[in-house]
Structure 1
Amino acid sequence: MGVRRFGRVNWLGLYTLALREVVRFTSVWTQTLLAPLMMAGLFLAIFTLAIGASRGDVMGVPFIHFLAPGILTMTVIQNAFTNTSSSLLVSKIQGNIVDTLMPPLSPLELVLGYMAGALARGVSVAVIIWLGMAVSVGLGLAHPVYALVFVMLGALLLGGLGLIAGIVSQKFDQMAAITNFIITPLAFLSGTFYSVEGLPAWFRTLTHLNPVFYLIDGVRYGIIDRSDTSPVFGLLVVGSVTFVVLLICWVLFKRGTKLKS
């Protein structure tokens, strides 16, 4: 394949796709940015009212401080997944996916454009929730760089999984099945609400096979300086899994799987 007339990278097309994905969620900010803050606040309030007073410190910090980073990360990854999966699936169902596939965008540029939206939404949600928690429960930032890197990796990983789900799904109930039986269990059974040290050995082993565990553990380290595993090891695991997921996205776009038929 020769050099395209606008260069090896279609910067204008890539920027346009990325901008479209960002505008998609910012135009309905009450649903995509304000609602996650409300949900995170409800989770914190419910757990605080239900067991917060009777629950002792976890990993040397108050239970509410231990819980907050997990809720933040869970909200980020759910929103990143929704951003890419809904964008692609709605385009397929409405029949306007051709408007995305026809422009001279390479498979890599398509992946990067969609990922820009997932990344922007994930980081925006993380910042908003952290600010809310900083005001309400005094949440700080022990290691800001680690926290940001893990949040970004979480948005990219789940954004990539959202792309895969959007590609393979043909209708909303198929997407709902993927969300309910894969994404939600990965998020909830990953140390969001508990330390894995208190789990039975077999359950702890299963948890360590879940990449979302390392995301939550890494964000927790970045925010409260507490973690179940080494954050460096977590970066290696999550970085590797994210690369594989994005590679699969590239292959699916290159082949046009369930997109061009």
Structure 2
Amino acid sequence: MERTEMGVRRFGRINWLGSYTLAQRETRRFLNVYSQTIIAPLINAALFMVIFAIAIGSRRGEVMGVPFMTFLAPGLLTMTVIQNAFANTSSSLTSAKVMGNIVDTLMPPLSPAEITFGYLFGAVARGTIVALAITVGVWLFLGIVPQSPLWMLVFVVVGSVFMGALGMVAAIFANKFDQLATISNFVVTPLSFLSGTFYSIEALPPVMQAMSHANPFFYIIDGVRYGMIGVSDSSPWQGLWIASLAAALVVALVWHWVRIGYRLKS
């Protein structure tokens, strides 16, 4: 019988099969209820666009040299993406903790990095699909074609990773759905609304502009806006660096908590 050296898993340094299986589970989880996870966000974004078009429309004038509805579309797209990426990991992990089947994820031969990757893959997949669906809708009804698709994709992915990891942080910390809802309602939603989704931060007082520049949500929204319509409040390179750093820090925190089993094994 072949023996395995100490410190080396029988699956190798990376359990590719296990990582793929977990990623596939997290992806199938939201695809099985696509009417709630993909179609519903698309309808919500469309309703926002209709409401703003009726309530404000052409009376708002141009923002940063483009019509208001054109300016608004990338903000709504990004807000929808980050909220769905957060919801994918937070709901999955919280459900596993509440129902007591988190052991099914912790017991298989998966490292903390592989578990983190599996959950984040589902968040990125859901965020990217939602972004694609809204982009098609914006093109059909507003005629907006992404100016820099690669920039847009990069910020959608980075934003999904950041929010997916933040969802895992919230789910690990929360012991019930009420606590998770509190984090979502009083942290995620306000930050996504107050990060340049509906306005340019140039219209804000200096103090609030400084606060916005310390908010990773702002750079994610601003980066997607640059990729979609070619205008932004800040340099896309600066935004990518700050958003990537924020995502890396939150992912590192998730990895550490999974490694020590913080609020997962007790």
TM bucket by the smaller chain? Answer: over 0.9
Do residues 36 (structure 1) and 41 (structure 2) align? yes
Instruction: Count how many residue pairs are aligned between Structure 1 and Structure 2.
Output: 261
Rounded to whole Å, the distance in 2 between the matches of 1:52 and 1:42 is 14
Rounded to whole Å, the distance in 2 between the matches of 1:105 and 1:6 is 10
Do residues 14 (structure 1) and 14 (structure 2) align? no
Rounded to whole Å, the distance in 2 between the matches of 1:222 and 1:169 is 35
Kept in 1, the 8 Å contact 2:127–2:157? The answer is yes
1:53 Cα deviation from its structure 2 partner:
2.5
- Residue of structure 2 in register with 1:132 after alignment: 137
Do residues 196 (structure 1) and 191 (structure 2) align? no
Q: How does 1:179-258 map to 2 (within 5 A)?
A: 179-258=184-263
Q: Which amino acid aligns with 2:56?
A: I
Q: Which amino acid aligns with 1:81?
A: F
- Residue of structure 1 in register with 2:149 after alignment: 144
Rounded to whole Å, the distance in 2 between the matches of 1:165 and 1:102 is 22
Rounded to whole Å, the distance in 1 between the matches of 2:62 and 2:242 is 28
Q: Which amino acid aligns with 2:89?
A: T
1:185 Cα deviation from its structure 2 partner:
1.0
Q: Which amino acid aligns with 2:239?
A: G
Gaps of 5+ in 2: 1-5
Kept in 1, the 8 Å contact 2:23–2:122? The answer is yes
Rounded to whole Å, the distance in 2 between the matches of 1:6 and 1:131 is 41
Q: Which amino acid aligns with 1:224?
A: I
SS in 2 for 1:4: coil
Rounded to whole Å, the distance in 2 between the matches of 1:68 and 1:133 is 7
- Residue of structure 1 in register with 2:264 after alignment: 259
1:97 Cα deviation from its structure 2 partner:
0.4
- Residue of structure 1 in register with 2:3 after alignment: none
1:98 Cα deviation from its structure 2 partner:
0.4
Identical aligned residues as a percent: 57
Do residues 78 (structure 1) and 83 (structure 2) align? yes
Rounded to whole Å, the distance in 2 between the matches of 1:93 and 1:166 is 10
1:100 Cα deviation from its structure 2 partner:
0.4
Greater mean deviation of Cα atoms: 47-56 or 106-115: 47-56
Q: Which amino acid aligns with 2:92?
A: S
Kept in 1, the 8 Å contact 2:96–2:102? The answer is yes
- Runs of 4+ aligned residues of structure 1 deviating over 6 Å after TM superposition are none
Q: Which amino acid aligns with 1:2?
A: G
* Alpha-carbon RMSD: 0.6
Rounded to whole Å, the distance in 1 between the matches of 2:23 and 2:242 is 27
Deviations 1:21-62 (A, max 9, x none): 000000000000000100000000001100112110111111
Do residues 23 (structure 1) and 28 (structure 2) align? yes
- Residue of structure 2 in register with 1:176 after alignment: 181
1:181 Cα deviation from its structure 2 partner:
1.0
Deviations 1:152-207 (A, max 9, x none): 00100000000000100001110011001110111000000000001111111111
Q: Report the TM-score when normalising by structure 1.
A: 0.99
Rounded to whole Å, the distance in 1 between the matches of 2:248 and 2:16 is 22
Q: Give the counterpart of 2:9 among 4, 10, 23.
A: 4
1:6 Cα deviation from its structure 2 partner:
1.2
1:139 Cα deviation from its structure 2 partner:
1.2
Q: Give the counterpart of 1:50 among 52, 55, 60.
A: 55
Q: Give the counterpart of 1:113 among 109, 118, 121.
A: 118
